[in-house]
Structure 1
Amino acid sequence: MKALFLAGGLGTRLRPLTENLPKPMALVGNRPWLEHLLLHYKEQGVSEFVIAVKYYREMIESHLGDGSKYGVRIDYAVEKELLGTAGAIKNAEPLLSDRFIVVNADIIHQVDLASALKFHENHGGAVTICLTEVEDPSHYGVVEQDGDGRIFRFVEKPKKEEAPSNRINAGIYIMERRALDHVPAGQPVSIEKETFPLLIENGSGVYGHPIGGYWMDMGTKARYRQLHWDLLDRRFPLPIDGQDGEEKGIWLGENVRVGQGVLFVPPVMIGNDVTIGDRSVIGPYSVIGNGSRIGSGVRMTQSILWDRCKIRSGAQLNECIFGSGMQVGPHILHEAVCNRILEVQRQ
C-alpha cells in the first residue's frame, strides 16, 4: 500500500515564512516537516510514497530525492495547474495502489495507522476519514456519524452548542481506488466539499475513525509557535535531534560552540554547527537552526530561528520567528516574523 502526500499548495497562511517554499517544507524542530512525515509513515510500515506537487517541485525533490537515502521509494505526481484535493489525487491515480493513504502534508500529526487500517478493512466502504477531536468545533467542518462510524453528513462551522460532535476531518484518508471513479480527471475538485458528499449520497460508504494522539494545523504563526512549544515540552513526542545537555530540556546538536557565561533556560533546542557568543541568554522556549551564529550578549526567549541565521551582539528577541539566512540586530524585537532582512511582519 502506498501513501500519497498532498504538497502542491503555496502555504499562504504562513507567509512570509513560506513565501518561497511549500508549507510542508517549513522547519519543525530544525527539519522540514515533510521529512518528519515521511519517516513517521515509514515507521508505520509504508515503504512506497507518492508526493503530489505543483509549486517548488525542485525544492522538494532535491531534498527527498527518490527516497533511497531513507530506505523508501518516492514518485512524484506533478500538477500542471492546481486541481484541488480530489483533483490532485485523481492526477496521481496511475501511481497509486488499489488501496492507498492520502495525507494533507501540512497537517502536523501522529497516527496509529494499524488501528485505522483495521477499522477500514472491517467496514468495507470506499473511504475512511481519520478524525481528530477538538474542544471547539465551530471553526471546522464537523462530522455526524451512526453507531458503526458511518458518516452521513458534514456540518460546516456549527455553533459550539449546536455541533453534532466534536470530531473533525484530520486531513488523513484511507481510500479504495474505486472511490476515484467518481472524480472527473483534469479539473479542480474538492474532496471535502464535492467528493465525500457525493460518496455519502451514492452509498459508497464513507466512515470516520478517530486517530487520537497529537494533531495541529500549523497554518498560523501562533499555532506554528505552539507546535514548537509542544515539541519542547514533549506533548508532541516527535524525535528531537541532538543530545540532552546536563540539564533536562536542553538539546544540543553536533559541533555547537558555546561562549563564556552563556545561560540556557530550558526548554531549548540548538541545531548543528551553531555558535553562541559570550554572556548570551537563550530560552526558555527557543529553537536555533543549523549553522546559525548568535553574537554576544543576546537575549532570546520564545523564538524560533531557521537555518543559517545571524543575530548580532546585543539583540533582544521575544516571540520572534526568523526564516533561513536572516540577519538581525542589534535590535529589540517582539512578535516579529521575518523572511528577509528588510521584511518584518508583526502580529
Structure 2
Amino acid sequence: MKDFNWKKTIIFPDSTIKDAIKILNRSGKKILLFLDKNLSLIGTISDGDIRRGLLNGVSLNSKIDKVVNKNPTTVLPNKDATFIYDLMIKLEVDQIPEVNEKGICTGLYLKDIKEAHKELENTLIIMAGGKGKRLFPRTKDCPKPLLEVKNKPIILHTIENAKRNGIYKFIISLNYLGHKIEDFLQNGEKYGVEISYLKEKSPLGTAGSLSLIKNIPKSPLIVINGDLISNINFHEILKFHNKTDSSATMAIKVIENQNPFGVVKIKGTDIVGFEEKPIERSYVNAGIYVINSECLNFLNKSEYIDMPYLFEKLKDKNKKISAYLLNESWIDIGKEDDFLNANK
C-alpha cells in the first residue's frame, strides 16, 4: 500500500504544467507531490487538477502553482494501514501523502493496485476500417492498425493498454484489408482477450459500424480509433462519464501553437496594443469515446456517420455530451511524419 517509488512523483516550484504532465505519465501515478527544496510538502497536484486548470484557461507553460491543491489530506508516519485505507474510502481518494510533524514529506500511500485496476465489464470497440490514404504506400498492402510502432502493431498497443486497465472484451470494426487484421488477432485467445468483429461492406465512418452490433452490451461502450496510441486510464474516463451522468463523452487533447510574430491589435486604423508571439490554444478530438448503449438508437443501420455528427445528434435530442481532457500520452498516426515521429 505504501509506494516505495514515491520520490518519482516529486515536483518542484519552478516546474510548468507541461513538466507535470510528463512526470505523471512517467511515474504512472495520478498524483504529484509539490515540495520545496527542503522536501516540505507545499501541496499536491492530481491529473484532475491539471485537467480543470487547462479547461479554465491555464497554459501548458504556466507554473504549476496555478493548479496546486495547497490543503491536501495527509497522514503522519507509522499510521495503521487499515486507518489509511478507510480514510481513502471515506474521502474517495486513491492517494494520501505521508508528512511528519515538521511538514517534511516522507512517503505516499496508494490504494491497492489490484483494486485500482480491477476487471471492467465494459467492451472496447476499435475502429480499424480506414484506408490510411495519407500513409500510402505503407498502407497499400497493410492496414494502418497493423503498421508497427516500436516493433509492435498499433492495434496491439491499444489492446495491451486496455488489458492493463482491466478490459478483456473487444469488438473490432473492419473494412479495408480487414482480413489481415482478423488473421493476425483471430479470436484474441493468444493475447488473453476475447475479440469479435464487425465487418463493414462499405466504409461507415467513425461511428456508423456501431449500428452493426447485434448484442448491445448494457454497460457504456468505449470506442477508440484504430490509428492512435495512448496510455489513457480507462477507469478515469469511465468514472468521469458516470459522475457527470453523460450520455456520451469525448476525450479531447489541448493543442498549443505559438504565433512566431508579434501581434498588433488595432481598432479601425488605430493601434491599441501589442502581444508578443501569443500562444493560440485549441482542443482537438482525441478519437476516444464513452457512449451509453441507448445512444446507438440514433444510428441508422449501415449508414455512414462520423462520431462528431453522432454527438451533434445527441445534443439536438437534449442528451448530455461531455468533454474529458486527456493528460496521458497520445499519438495520432495519420500522416507519414506522425508515423516516423512515433518510431523515434
TM-score norm. by structure 2 comes to 0.57
CA contact (8 A) 2:256 2:279 kept: no
Structure (1 or 2) with the larger CA radius of gyration: 2
Structure 2 counterpart of 1:212, one-letter code: N
**C-alpha distance in structure 1 between counterparts of 2:254 and 2:178, whole Å:** 33
Matching residue within 132, 140, 159 for 1:11: 132
**C-alpha distance in structure 1 between counterparts of 2:241 and 2:258, whole Å:** 25
Q: 1:211 offset after TM fit, Å? A: 1.7
Structure with more contact order per residue of length (Cα contacts < 8 Å, sep ≥ 6): 2
**C-alpha distance in structure 1 between counterparts of 2:219 and 2:188, whole Å:** 22
Matching residue within 177, 193, 196 for 1:56: 177
Q: What is aligned with 2:83?
A: none
Q: 1:191 offset after TM fit, Å? A: 1.8
> What SS class does the counterpart of residue 132 from structure 1 fall into?
strand
Q: What is aligned with 1:178?
A: 294
> What SS class does the counterpart of residue 27 from structure 1 fall into?
coil
RMSD: 2.1
Please state if 1:199 is matched with 2:320: no
Q: What is aligned with 2:161?
A: 40
Q: What is aligned with 2:325?
A: 210
> What SS class does the counterpart of residue 28 from structure 1 fall into?
coil
Gap runs ≥5 in structure 2: 1-121, 260-276
> What SS class does the counterpart of residue 31 from structure 1 fall into?
coil
Structure 2 counterpart of 1:22, one-letter code: P
Aligned pairs (5 A) from 1:1-347 = 1-92=122-213, 94=215, 96-136=217-257, 166-192=282-308, 194-229=309-344
User: CA-to-partner distance for each residue in 1:249-290, whole Å, 9 max, x for gaps?
Assistant: xxxxxxxxxxxxxxxxxxxxxxxxxxxxxxxxxxxxxxxxxx
CA contact (8 A) 1:50 1:96 kept: no
Q: 1:133 offset after TM fit, Å? A: 1.2
- CA, structure 1 residues 44+137, in 2 after alignment: closer, same or farther (shift >3 Å)? farther
- Structure 1 runs, 4 residues or longer, greater than 2 Å off: 92-98, 160-163
**C-alpha distance in structure 2 between counterparts of 1:167 and 1:38, whole Å:** 26
- CA, structure 1 residues 93+125, in 2 after alignment: closer, same or farther (shift >3 Å)? farther
- CA, structure 1 residues 177+17, in 2 after alignment: closer, same or farther (shift >3 Å)? same
CA contact (8 A) 2:258 2:278 kept: no
Provide the aligned length of Structure 1 versus Structure 2: 206
Structure 1 counterpart of 2:317, one-letter code: N
Indicate the structure with greater strand content: 1
Q: 1:95 offset after TM fit, Å? A: 5.2
**C-alpha distance in structure 2 between counterparts of 1:116 and 1:191, whole Å:** 17
**C-alpha distance in structure 2 between counterparts of 1:224 and 1:70, whole Å:** 24
The percentage of aligned residue pairs carrying the same residue is: 29
Q: 1:166 offset after TM fit, Å? A: 2.3
Gap runs ≥5 in structure 1: 139-159, 230-347
User: CA-to-partner distance for each residue in 1:88-136, whole Å, 9 max, x for gaps?
Assistant: 1222353544311000010222201111111011111210101111114
CA contact (8 A) 2:216 2:293 kept: no
User: CA-to-partner distance for each residue in 1:205-232, whole Å, 9 max, x for gaps?
Assistant: 1001112121122111112111122xxx
**C-alpha distance in structure 2 between counterparts of 1:177 and 1:161, whole Å:** 43
**C-alpha distance in structure 1 between counterparts of 2:333 and 2:170, whole Å:** 23
